[in-house]
A and B are shown apart, each in its own frame.
Chain A
């Protein structure tokens, strides 16, 4: 239990500094992500299921998908422990949340999207820590 909590803190520390694609603020500052929105379950020895629920600032489909993409990419790159990741829009915060959730959890769709240079550039800018 304590391990799971520690892991959740690790996850949150990585995602809270991600910048919003539109606004000059971090996801934490905009309350897009919160500590409470991170759930960690141990699924095997040293392997965890990480579930993130985020609240997009505006009900605009493409921005929500973009935030989901940023979350996934940053964690993929920065999370040091073995994990499986699920990302969801907080229930009731978006009209097409099921559609968005399905897309951001489809690893083939995510991989293909990240091959798009424009999209990739935006994501890079959102996830890269300032020097």
Chain B
């Protein structure tokens, strides 16, 4: 199983163990609200449905972590993001100092083999393409840079993309294609691909009302999830030219349409999203101190035509506040809205008002 040691914070040193569960176990936790807090400073521990024993437990063998290296001289300012190369031999670090360092794993540590310069100010994100020969970086300077690395470990910038109109927060590669996605302070998500020795923006996903902080592709790469300062999680689907749903495409590029918007689940900015390629579950990181897991299940409603794809999302595990009963007026009922295109349903743990 997946074991995790939770440590209390702020003076609390309680160690808790949780059996990682998936599938049935997670569904069983549907709607359970719990909060883990350390002792001291007004925090307290609440009970929940997770099968967690009270008191501390001995550390299981093989699960202790040691600090192997401190790479303290590479950057002059905050290191914002790190990313391992697909082969595992390299580590990229993106910094507010405007540079991205490439570290190569050695026997006794790591050596900085390249420093990628060019961004005018803070680099916010770095990501390796699955092939391992491409890297992308993005910055507050509004640009996305694509870098190529050759067999001699030489890095070269092959494209500077200036299509966003504001700070770019996050870049992510498609799981299997050389397709790049970026999330921006300009409230959009953009997609890029290579075209004749250069990179072009092939799609712009509009819909969020504020900064998009992160995006994640699903396993097949036909869907993308985005999260925003507007407190919604959106799922977008790719429609290829000639698709049977009748979605128009311009030229040979696929069109992306927002097929699901989850509102009312997050009470503050959502900073990150992760799409599990094994289970299909979506996890979000929110400024309201909670992690939420959303799962998709096959439709239970036989009346829906099977030719249309059905997206049912429910919040299967969530840490939400229940200690204070918020006034109904302060708390929006969670809502899921669908594109008119698709016959989609969402099943929510919490009362959901279905929209037309």
Residues of chain A touching chain B, judged by Cβ–Cβ distance below 8 Å, are 41-46, 82, 84, 102, 105-109, 111-112, 115
Inter-chain contact count A-B, CB under 8 Å? Answer: 38
Contacting residue for B211 out of A42, A82, A106, CB 8 A = A106
Of residues 181 through 217 on chain B, the ones whose CB sits less than 8 Å from some CB of chain A are 185, 210-211
Contacting residue for A84 out of B42, B122, B185, B288, CB 8 A = B288
A109 contact set on B, CB distance < 8 A: 140, 167
Distance between A88 CB and nearest chain B CB, rounded to angstroms = 14
Alpha-carbon separation in the docked complex, A42 to B323 (Å):
11
Contacting residue for B124 out of A82, A102, A108, CB 8 A = A108
Q: What are 13 A-B contacts defined by CB distance under 8 Å?
A: A41-B330, A42-B324, A43-B324, A44-B323, A44-B324, A102-B185, A102-B210, A105-B229, A106-B185, A108-B124, A109-B140, A112-B78, A115-B77
Whether B122 pairs with A43 at a CB distance below 8 angstroms is: no
Please give me the residue from chain B that is nearest to A81 by CB atom.
Answer: B42
B268 contact set on A, CB distance < 8 A: 84
Interface residues of B: mostly helix, strand, loop or mixed?
A: loop
Distance between B105 CB and nearest chain A CB, rounded to angstroms = 29
Distance between A40 CB and nearest chain B CB, rounded to angstroms = 13
Please give me the residue from chain B that is nearest to A86 by CB atom.
Answer: B268
A44 contact set on B, CB distance < 8 A: 321, 323-324
Give the interface size class of chain B. 20 to 34
Alpha-carbon separation in the docked complex, A35 to B140 (Å):
35
Known: A106-B185, A108-B124, A112-B78. A43 touches B96 (CB 8 A): no
A102 contact set on B, CB distance < 8 A: 185, 210-211
Whether B78 pairs with A45 at a CB distance below 8 angstroms is: no
- Since A84-B287, A84-B288 are in contact, a sample of 18 more A-B pairs with Cβ atoms closer than 8 Å, ordered by chain A residue number, is A43-B326, A44-B321, A44-B323, A45-B323, A46-B42, A84-B268, A102-B185, A105-B229, A106-B185, A106-B211, A107-B287, A108-B124, A108-B169, A109-B140, A109-B167, A112-B78, A112-B140, A115-B96
B282-294 contact mask (Cβ, 8 Å, vs A): 1 or 0: 0000011000000
The 5 nearest A-B residue pairs measured at CB: A44-B321, A45-B323, A46-B42, A112-B122, A44-B324
Whether A111 pairs with B78 at a CB distance below 8 angstroms is: yes
Distance between A110 CB and nearest chain B CB, rounded to angstroms = 12
Alpha-carbon separation in the docked complex, A109 to B184 (Å):
13
Whether B133 is near chain A, meaning CB under 8 Å from some CB there, is no
B64-78 contact mask (Cβ, 8 Å, vs A): 1 or 0: 000000000000011
A106 contact set on B, CB distance < 8 A: 185, 211, 229
Whether A43 pairs with B321 at a CB distance below 8 angstroms is: yes
A105 contact set on B, CB distance < 8 A: 229
B140 contact set on A, CB distance < 8 A: 109, 112
Whether B267 is near chain A, meaning CB under 8 Å from some CB there, is yes
B124 contact set on A, CB distance < 8 A: 108
Alpha-carbon separation in the docked complex, A42 to B96 (Å):
35
Alpha-carbon separation in the docked complex, A46 to B321 (Å):
12
Distance between A24 CB and nearest chain B CB, rounded to angstroms = 32
Distance between A20 CB and nearest chain B CB, rounded to angstroms = 27
Please give me the residue from chain A that is nearest to B96 by CB atom.
Answer: A112
Distance between B209 CB and nearest chain A CB, rounded to angstroms = 11
Please give me the residue from chain B that is nearest to A115 by CB atom.
Answer: B77
Distance between A100 CB and nearest chain B CB, rounded to angstroms = 13
Whether A82 pairs with B42 at a CB distance below 8 angstroms is: yes
Distance between A10 CB and nearest chain B CB, rounded to angstroms = 15
Alpha-carbon separation in the docked complex, A111 to B122 (Å):
11
A46 contact set on B, CB distance < 8 A: 42
Distance between B108 CB and nearest chain A CB, rounded to angstroms = 31
B122 contact set on A, CB distance < 8 A: 112
A107 contact set on B, CB distance < 8 A: 287
**Which among A41, A42, A107, A115 has the highest number of chain B CB atoms within 10 Å?**
A115
B19-58 contact mask (Cβ, 8 Å, vs A): 1 or 0: 0000000000000000000000010000000000000000
Of residues 263 through 304 on chain B, the ones whose CB sits less than 8 Å from some CB of chain A are 267-268, 287-288
Please give me the residue from chain B that is nearest to A46 by CB atom.
Answer: B42
Alpha-carbon separation in the docked complex, A17 to B123 (Å):
35
